[in-house]
Amino acid sequence: MRRLKWPLLLASSLFIACGQPTSESKREESRSDSVMVVNGVERTELALLMRKMYDEMALVKDSIKLGYTVKTNFLEEYKRIQTAHATEPEKIDATYKAMAEAFLINYEMFETSQDEQAKAFNGMLQNCLVCHENKCPGPVKAIKKLRIKP
């Protein structure tokens, strides 16, 4: 158990995973270092990265809404969605990889956007949603709430 991560995980433990946790996902096992058990549910490297992205995008949304020009530098880190270990590794297929690439292209467009940041932000979010509707419907509602209304 990596103690340091607990406060962070507890603070965001309200998130819904892809589906409802099944008895299968409650197995006690230590598959690898990238798997962590939180409230009896396994948390993989990919799930942790996704939560972090969600939290960071929620802050970005708030800042843009307040009228700030946001400068993020997350692209290199987010590229890990292409390689991070997932709860259901079979989901990481060619479709996933294509959608991950499209997301990263749009994320880079958002990071380099100067004006119309809200538009670039919403366009990037659309790529979160496309993948989620296909691969992981649980968080779709929460992601939709990140959209910036004009």
Binding site for ligand HEC (CB under 6 A): 15, 17-18, 44, 46-47, 50-51, 53-54, 57, 86-87, 91, 96, 99-100, 103, 127-128, 131-132, 135-136, 139, 143
Considering the complex, state which of residue 58 and residue 68 has its C-beta at the smaller distance from ligand HEC. 58
By C-beta, is 69 or 105 nearer to ligand HEC?
A: 105
* Min separation Cβ 57 and ligand HEC, Å: 5
Nearest to 18 by CA among 139, 146, 108: 139
Q: Could you tell me the smallest distance in angstroms from the CB atom of residue 128 to ligand HEC?
A: 3
How far, in Å, CA of 132 to CA of 30, rounded?
27
Longest dimension (CA), the chain: 49
Taking the CA atoms of 148, 101, 108 and 89 in sequence, report the sign of the dihedral they define. positive
Residue 47 near residue 87 (C-beta atoms within 8 A): yes
Please identify, using beta-carbon distances, which residue of 8 and 68 lies nearer to ligand HEC: 8
| Smallest separation (angstroms) from ligand HEC to the CB of 91 | 5
What is the closest distance, in whole angstroms, from the C-beta atom of residue 89 to ligand HEC in the complex? 9
Nearer to ligand HEC by C-beta: 66 or 94? 94
79 versus 135: smaller Cβ distance to ligand HEC: 135
Cβ contact 116:31 at 8 Å: no
CB of 129 to ligand HEC, least distance (A): 8
Burial 89-111 (b: 16+ CB within 10 A, else e): eeebeeebeebbeebbebbeebb
